[in-house]
Chains A and B, each alone.
Chain A
Amino acid sequence: MSLERRGRLRKRYWLWSGLLSGVALIILILAGNPFQQGGHLPLLLGLGLVALITELLLIRYPLQHGYTDRGIWMSVSTPIVAAVLLLYGWQMGVWLDALVTFGAGLLTARLKQSHLRWVWLNTAQSILCAAGASAWQIGAGYTAVFDTLPSFLKAALALLGVLGLYSLINIFLVSVTVALAEGVRLHWVLRESLRGLPRETLPMFPLSLLLMTVLHLYGFAGSLAVLAPYLALRQAFILYTRQHELYHQTIRSLGFLIQRAHPYTGGHLQRVAQWGRKVAERLGLPPERCELVYEAALLHDLGKTVLDERILNKPGRLTPREWEQVQRHPQLGAEILSDVPFLNPIVPWIAYHHERPDGKGYPYGLQGDQIPLEARIIAVVDAFDAMIGGEAPSQQRQYRRALSIEEALQELRRGAGTQFDPQVVTVFEQVVQEWLPLSRIAEGEARTRMQSACH
């Protein structure tokens, strides 16, 4: 990103946070003094305390693909706010949300290493969400009295609407903030978060409904009973998330372990995977696609586990029959992964990672655009790392001397259009240029450490 663009984004970001703060303050003033709201003050404080506790016990949701180490954090005080909005009016809901978000933000600021500015921005966002969500209730002209079944169903429907609207506004505001603060494209962030919307909102609904009913029937004391199912739910989701992460770890470690049976250095796979993801990001593929490129690059030579290791380890040139065997490995890798439904998208990438744009690749001899972009990325990155000698220890393939990085880049440029995809090569060169200084530093450090150890 150029400095100019960064500066422009920075200005926009400040404008955006100023706008958020202004609107939020106006809403708060309109909502009036919370300490003058009739007999609801103890309720507000009591519920605020409950909501604060739940807010501090955040639920971490898993995202669809990849993102194993990130995941999005969801606040669980939203069901409480939604129920209060419907039962006691929008002013109360807005104040509750503001107090809880601000309080929780202050208490966890140290833990999350977030700036006070972020805490306020979060609070402003939640005020806007609560006020916006109550527009639903005001628009429907609904008051929370449910003595009959139809009115109860109507209340439930209104609650769902409020929850949905709250989440939608929240996603939009957070996405804009994230896009401006980190310089990511807005529609990526939006698409990514919108996909998770039903999964985040729906589990909140029964909880919120339960809370609303209990509050209506038994008042504040009843609301404490809701904490029990909430804690159970939280436990279940945490468990699920952990297992989800474990599963991804499993795939990766099995990939590494199987490859270790053959003369690969673990570094080769990791570098290919990381570079592959970088190139995919630069080429503008959506984030979840980039994650998949990472996993595909880790597993791209899986088919070699099936082959005779005497061929793979052979130092000299291969005979035509042996070469024929080696050429089977993309197909074998695809066959191995074809049984795993959620890895379906990467199967063709692995099958075609030795195809060439000019049609001289193996095993199928596809041409140009017939080869998926992701397979072309893996082909370039894999070839580069093999050329600089990262693929196998130096005693392997003695007939082929390891090239320097500049020579290898030149080789890529020479093959662009015939052996490699020219667009991918251009982007990959940028990636390598950025990685180069870092690797030099690491290399230099290692050398000095070795020298000091020798002396």
Chain B
Amino acid sequence: MDSLYISIGIVLLSVGALGYYAFAFLPAQLHRWRCQSLRAFAKAIELRTQGRYGDPALIAQLAIAVGARLGIEGEARKQLELAVYLRDIGMVGIPYALLNRSTPLAPMEQLTLARHVEIGAAIVEQLPGLNMVAPLVRLHHIEYAQQPEAPLGAHLLAALSDLIELAQHAGYEAALHALQAGAGTRYHPQVVQAIAAELQARPLGSWAPLRRSAALWLGLVMYPLKDLTRLFIELARH
């Protein structure tokens, strides 16, 4: 009778593996693909604006790490990551000359630039599988004092966007100080606190080489499994 339990165990194990593949591995892989494809469009914007709004992959990592401190997990986390890549897509509708001006912008021109938020949200709303990210895109430059009830993810995006943009010419120290000065008025105080804590735990220099590490690990685990199953087929054939 012992062997019976063993066989049932083996069967349950294989069903478990199947469940893992269908419910955990496939969705993770799909999210990875989606982020990769969106990275291409973020890259287009990056080239168009000559990189002044930062490396999207870096911002995505930072957003996920800070989001974890703020309790943004699961589906909200995925949406946050997608929003990082999509947030500036509206820049395609902003005149090139305005985006690449080295002198400061006049107030009217700043209003034009600010329209990228609306354009981006309108574009994202049209996309079948991504329209749930549109609110985050629309709110990614909000001020805390005006809309304190907006989702935490939007406040996080607003603070991070400014941080990276400021850091491009003033350095991270100064950018963080500017954020802390605006906490409670312009930025969500909790968000600023979390960003400061995260940057203290891991200074920004150490971020770059960590790209797509989780996805890589998943792949490293899954690939031998795939080969193993192929081996079994071969064995069964001979």
Asked if A236 and B95 make an inter-chain contact with CB atoms under 8 angstroms apart, the answer reads no
**Complex-state Cα separation, A340 to B44, whole angstroms:** 12
Give a binary string over B27-55; 1 marks a CB under 8 Å from any A CB, 0 the rest: 10010011011111101100110000000
Is there contact, CB below 8 Å, between B47 and A147?
no
Any A CB within 8 A of the CB of B103: no
Separation in Å of the A168 CB from the closest CB of chain B? 10
Q: Say whether B127 contacts A253, CB under 8 Å.
A: yes
Residues of A within 8 A of B126 (CB): 253, 257
A206/B127 in contact, CB under 8 A: no
Complexed CA–CA distance, A147 and B7 (Å): 9
Question: Roughly how many angstroms separate A343 CA and B38 CA in the complex, as a whole number?
Answer: 12
> Across the interface, do A308 and B96 meet the contact criterion of CB distance under 8 Å?
yes
Task: Point out the residue from B11, B22, B229, B236 that lies within 8 Å of A236, measured CB to CB.
Answer: B22
A148–B93 Cα distance when bound, in Å, is 70
State in angstroms the CA–CA spacing of A244 and B19 once bound together.
Answer: 18
Taking a contact as CB atoms under 8 Å apart, the answer to whether A206 and B15 are in contact is: yes
Q: Are B128 and A206 in contact (CB under 8 A)?
A: no
Instruction: Count residues of chain B with CB under 8 A from any CB of chain A.
Output: 49
Chain A contacts with B in 223-272, Cβ cutoff 8 A: 229, 232-233, 236-237, 239-240, 243-244, 246-247, 249-251, 253-254, 257-258, 261
Alpha-carbon distance between A192 and B47 when the two chains are bound, in angstroms: 38
Q: How far is the CA of A166 from the CA of B202 in the complex (A)?
A: 55
Among A140-169, those with CB < 8 Å from B are 146-149, 152, 156-158, 160-161, 164
Given A198-B229, A244-B30, A258-B92, check contact A332 B128 (CB 8 Å). Answer: no
Identify A160's interface contact among B3, B47, B233, CB under 8 A: B233
- Give CA–CA (A233, B19) in the complex, Å: 7
* Cross-interface CB contact of B128 among A160, A161, A249, A309, cutoff 8 Å: A249
Is A86 an interface residue when CB atoms closer than 8 A count as contact?
A: no
The answer, yes or no, to whether A95 is at the interface (CB within 8 Å) is no
Residue from A146, A236, A253 within 8 A of B7 (CB atoms): A146
A305–B92 touching, CB < 8 Å: yes
B8 within 8 A of A: yes
Closest Cβ of chain A to B76, distance in Å, is 18
A210 in contact with B11 (CB, 8 Å):
yes
Q: Are A254 and B236 in contact (CB under 8 A)?
A: no
A254 and B45 CA atoms in complex are apart in Å by 13
Cα–Cα distance between A207 and B6 once the two chains are bound (Å): 17
Expressed in whole angstroms, the Cα–Cα distance for A82 and B78 within the complex equals: 40
Q: Which single residue of chain B is at the shortest CB-CB distance from A155?
A: B7
Whether B128 pairs with A250 at a CB distance below 8 angstroms is yes
- Distance of B123 from chain A, by nearest CB (Å): 5
Is B235 within 8 A of A157, CB to CB?
Answer: yes
User: Is there a chain A Cβ closer than 8 Å to B169's Cβ?
Assistant: no
For residue B20, give the distance in angstroms from its CB to the closest CB of chain A: 11
CB of B115, distance to nearest CB on chain A (Å): 13
Q: Is A399 an interface residue (CB 8 A)?
A: no
Whether A339 pairs with B36 at a CB distance below 8 angstroms is: yes
Asked if B95 contacts A309 (CB within 8 A), the reply is yes
Residues in chain A near residue B8, CB distance under 8 A = 213
Given known A339-B39, A340-B39, contact A247–B33 (CB-CB < 8 A): yes
* A250-B93 CB under 8 A given contacts A160-B233, A332-B47: no
Chain A residues touching B, majority SS = helix
User: Which A residues are in CB contact (< 8 Å) with B44?
Assistant: 258, 302, 305-306, 336
Q: Once the chains are docked, how many angstroms separate the CA of A236 from the CA of B10?
A: 22
Within 8 A of B (CB), among A207-221: 207, 209-210, 213, 217
Verify B129–A249 contact, CB threshold 8 A. yes
Complex contact B34–A206 (CB within 8 A): no
Rounded to whole Å, the gap between the CB of A232 and the closest CB of chain B is 7
Q: How far apart are the CA atoms of A374 and B79 in the complex, in Å?
A: 36
Whether the Cβ atoms of A164 and B236 lie closer than 8 Å is yes
Residue ID in chain A nearest B130 by CB atoms: A250
Place the interface of chain A in its size category. 35 or more
Q: Is A247 within 8 A of B129, CB to CB? A: yes
Query: At the interface, yes or no: B218 with Cβ under 8 Å from chain A?
Result: no
Complex contacts, B23 vs chain A, CB 8 Å: 236
Q: What is the minimal beta-carbon distance from B43 to any residue of chain A, in angstroms? A: 5
Q: Within the complex, which residue of A160, A243, A254, A309 is in contact with B96, where a contact is CB–CB below 8 Å?
A: A309
Q: Chain B's nearest CB lies how many Å from the CB of A239? A: 8
With a CB–CB cut-off of 8 A, which chain B residues contact A164?
Answer: 233, 236-237
Contacts of A236 in B (CB 8 A): 22-23, 26
The answer, among B37, B43, B97, B233, for a CB contact under 8 Å with A247, is B37
Contacts of A206 in B (CB 8 A): 11, 14-15, 17-18
Residue A53 lies at the interface, judged by CB distance under 8 Å to chain B: no
**C-alpha spacing A250/B128, complex, angstroms:** 7
- Contacts A198-B233, A247-B129, A306-B47; A337 near B15 (Cβ below 8 A): no
B contact residues around A310 at 8 Å (CB): 95-97
* Cα–Cα distance between A342 and B32 once the two chains are bound (Å): 11
Question: What residues on A are CB-neighbors of B27 within 8 Å?
Answer: 239-240, 243
Give the complex CA separation of A247 and B36 in angstroms.
11
Contact B36 A240 (CB under 8 A): no
Interface set of A (CB-CB < 8 Å, partner B): 146-149, 152, 156-158, 160-161, 164, 198, 201-203, 205-207, 209-210, 213, 217, 229, 232-233, 236-237, 239-240, 243-244, 246-247, 249-251, 253-254, 257-258, 261, 302, 305-310, 332, 335-337, 339-343
* Interface residues of B, Cβ cutoff 8 Å to A: 3-4, 6-8, 10-11, 14-15, 17-19, 21-23, 26-27, 30, 33-34, 36-41, 43-44, 47-48, 92-93, 95-97, 100, 123, 126-130, 229-230, 232-233, 235-237
| CB-defined A-B contacts under 8 Å, sample of 23 | A152-B3, A158-B236, A160-B233, A198-B230, A202-B229, A203-B22, A229-B19, A232-B19, A237-B22, A240-B27, A243-B27, A247-B30, A247-B33, A247-B129, A249-B129, A250-B34, A258-B41, A308-B96, A310-B97, A336-B41, A336-B44, A342-B33, A343-B40
Q: Taking A258-B41, A339-B39 as given, write out 16 further A-B residue pairs in contact, using a Cβ cutoff of 8 Å, ordered by the A residue number.
A: A147-B3, A149-B6, A160-B236, A164-B236, A164-B237, A202-B233, A203-B21, A213-B8, A236-B22, A249-B129, A254-B41, A335-B47, A336-B41, A336-B44, A340-B37, A340-B40
